[in-house]
Chains A and B, each alone.
Chain A
Amino acid sequence: MRDSFRQRRERMIQLKTRREGKETDIPRKHIAKAVFGKCPDCGAMVPKTELARTLYVCPKCGYHHPVGAYLRLSMLLDSKSFRELDEKLTAPNALKFPGYDEKLQAARKATGLTEGVVTARGKIDGRMAVFAVLDSRFFMGSMGVALGEKVTRAVEYADRAGLPLIIFSASGGARMQEGILSLMQMAKTSAALERFGAHGGLYISVLTHPTTGGVTASFASLGDVTLAEPGALIGFAGPRVIEQTIGQKLPEGFQRSEYLEEHGFVDQIVPRSQMKETLSLLLRLHEKRGEDHG
């Protein structure tokens, strides 16, 4: 009994929100972590300085390298407009899953992230929005309690503040180590978005490589507007599972952004170089009249 009280108190402390007070630039130490060499698609060796200039898109073949959450935000936000939300939010190892705590520690050390999503408030061309950006370097961007909670809080923040919401998805699906509670985050995030939508909130979902499983089957698929980066793998079931199930090879381009667009699940495919201006346009088109977003 005392033990369970102690555990609950620990949970409360761990989940307690800590909101940063100031709008800043994105901390450089985070951004500097994302660096690449060889293009996995065409094999081209591109100097890192050039990749930074092309927003980490291969200049030879157009391959969009997955980018970390802070790096992504740095490509989009106006300077000095970044304010991170729930930066320290983590969840306990509720299943007492063997080895999970150690793996989390290792992932935190390797990426400088506390979880697989960064949520923030920031401006694009002077227009304020709320962002949730998944980071596939952290447990493949898989959704556990903390990721689901941070996304939900971002939705609620946008709802309260009357701001548009932009989510960049990149996820392998559910966080296995959190079992059924990770599954429940699908319902939690979808329910929050349903409410946000009913209150007139604008939600732009941007699908990036890869977006699969429980994230595809929840918040990633619920945008008022859905964008995708070129060539991203997007689906519910992974290609390997499908091949095993149906016993045949999948066609070229199956579950890629272009395939989804063709099948009616994406409004537009937007190359990274045009992402900021596209989001800016969408924010402008949905601007509430008579409201000050400055």
Chain B
Amino acid sequence: MAEITAAERVALARHAGRPGTADYISALFTDFFECKGDRQCREDPAILGGVALYKGHPVTVIGHRKGKSLQENMACNFGMPGPEGYRKAQRLMRQAQKFRRPVITFVDTPGAYPGLEAEARGQGEAIASTLSLMSALDVPVITVVTGEGGSGGALALAVANRVLMLENAVYSVLSPEGFASILWKDSSRAGEAAEIMKLTARDLVALGAADEVIPEPQGGAHENPQAVFVAVDRALSYALDRVVREGDFAQRRYEKFRGMGTPRSRKEGL
């Protein structure tokens, strides 16, 4: 079997039939109770969150939601949250801290929405304050990058003790299209950009930005969602056990991100 190119993985990560956060919640968790709204002005469906049981224990689940039909896609703004979505996530994270339950996040977004109202309501501030809050949570935090990890809008849900990535998921500083258009003033060279950006799951593990690759069925996650749920469940449960066993959640998470790109992270990665 020929190696899948980075550009092909980008296409798989964006595949319309790919399982999303809602699918993982119904497959892996029971008794899900959705919590809506940022308590300030709006409910942002681009982020789905709530409380559920994972293997019988309460957890807080938060993830990007793209929606399945065109109508859902529109309602969820294609998984591009506004500041209200991140503020809702913060609210749920604070509750997780309060009730001492782990936080599990699913990342799948082209990025935070670049819109007029999003800017007016402080998209930058919303992401920044989510990052700082998440970095200090004294409960276990596990992230699964299931599809597209687009820039700061993805990272805002991914300051985790363990960051797991599906084999064909991608995670990058900006989209290959954006990258190509800045670098070569030509967004049609996105495929080329994908190859040099080092955005695949394996690239990220090598760079210390992700911890583990979760294998996908041949042809991609949409070919056999059941198999993917089993694989994600196994990896998630293992990661959660490990993080719980290690303890010292905030400190370990701090050290992990403190070392990003510096010799400390290299040591950790070995």
Question: Interface size class for chain A?
Answer: 35 or more
Provide the A244-255 mask, 1 if CB < 8 A to any CB of B, else 0: 011000100011
Tell me the nearest residue of chain B to A181, going by C-beta.
Answer: B261
| Smallest CB separation, A32 vs chain B (Å) | 32
Interface residues of B in 167-191 (CB under 8 A from A): 171-174, 178-179, 182-183
Q: How far is the CA of A236 from the CA of B116 in the complex (A)?
A: 11
Query: What is the total number of residues of chain B having a CB less than 8 Å from a CB of chain A?
Result: 51
B19 at the interface (CB under 8 A from A): no
Cβ contact within 8 Å between B262 and A98:
no
Q: How far is the CA of A55 from the CA of B57 in the complex (A)?
A: 61
| Smallest CB separation, B203 vs chain A (Å) | 8
Main secondary structure of the interface of B (DSSP, over half): helix
Q: How far is the CA of A174 from the CA of B174 in the complex (A)?
A: 9
Candidates A11, A148, A180, A241; contact of B263 at CB < 8 Å? A11
Cβ contact within 8 Å between A236 and B124:
yes
Interface residues of B in 204-261 (CB under 8 A from A): 204, 207, 209, 253-254, 257-258, 260-261
| Smallest CB separation, B152 vs chain A (Å) | 4
Cβ contact within 8 Å between B209 and A184:
yes
- Interface segment among B23-31, B62-70, B93-101, B126-134: the answer is B126-134
Candidates B129, B152, B159, B203; contact of A214 at CB < 8 Å? B152
Cβ contact within 8 Å between A179 and B173:
yes
Cβ contact within 8 Å between A145 and B258:
no
Q: How far is the CA of A246 from the CA of B136 in the complex (A)?
A: 35
B56 at the interface (CB under 8 A from A): no
Interface residues of B in 141-170 (CB under 8 A from A): 151-152, 155-156, 159
A265 at the interface (CB under 8 A from B): yes
Q: How far is the CA of A29 from the CA of B197 in the complex (A)?
A: 37
A221 at the interface (CB under 8 A from B): yes
B14 at the interface (CB under 8 A from A): no
Cβ contact within 8 Å between A181 and B207:
yes
Cβ contact within 8 Å between B119 and A176:
no
| Smallest CB separation, A223 vs chain B (Å) | 10
Cβ contact within 8 Å between A180 and B172:
yes
A281 at the interface (CB under 8 A from B): no
A208 at the interface (CB under 8 A from B): no
Main secondary structure of the interface of A (DSSP, over half): helix
Provide the A169-194 mask, 1 if CB < 8 A to any CB of B, else 0: 00000101011111111111011111
Cβ contact within 8 Å between B132 and A222:
yes
Q: How far is the CA of A198 from the CA of B254 in the complex (A)?
A: 14
A257 at the interface (CB under 8 A from B): no
Q: Report B-chain residues with C-beta under 8 Å of the C-beta of A213.
A: 152
Tell me the nearest residue of chain A to B254, going by C-beta.
Answer: A191
Q: Report A-chain residues with C-beta under 8 Å of the C-beta of B116.
A: 242, 246, 250, 254
| Smallest CB separation, B36 vs chain A (Å) | 24
Q: Report B-chain residues with C-beta under 8 Å of the C-beta of A159.
A: none
Q: Report A-chain residues with C-beta under 8 Å of the C-beta of B257.
A: 184, 187-188, 191
Interface centre among B115, B135, B173, B262 (most CB of A within 10 A): B173
Task: Contacts A180-B198, A186-B155 given; indicate if A194 touches B136 (C-beta within 8 A).
Answer: yes
Tell me the nearest residue of chain B to A216, going by C-beta.
Answer: B124
Tell me the nearest residue of chain A to B153, going by C-beta.
Answer: A217
A219 at the interface (CB under 8 A from B): yes
Tell me the nearest residue of chain A to B261, going by C-beta.
Answer: A145
Q: How far is the CA of A114 from the CA of B256 in the complex (A)?
A: 26
- Interface segment among A19-27, A58-66, A89-97: the answer is A89-97
Q: Report A-chain residues with C-beta under 8 Å of the C-beta of B122.
A: 221, 263-265
Given contacts A180-B203, A183-B152, 6 further A-B contacts (CB under 8 A): A145-B260, A179-B172, A184-B209, A193-B132, A221-B122, A242-B115
Q: Which residues of A does B touch, CB under 8 Å?
A: 8, 11-12, 15, 91, 94-95, 97-98, 144-145, 148-149, 152, 174, 176, 178-188, 190-195, 197-198, 213-214, 216-222, 234-238, 241-242, 245-246, 250, 254-255, 259, 263-265
A-B contact pairs, 12 of them (CB 8 A): A176-B173, A179-B173, A180-B199, A180-B209, A191-B258, A213-B152, A217-B127, A221-B129, A237-B114, A237-B123, A263-B121, A265-B125
9 closest A-B pairs by beta carbon, nearest first, are: A237-B114, A145-B261, A191-B135, A216-B124, A184-B260, A190-B131, A221-B128, A236-B124, A217-B127
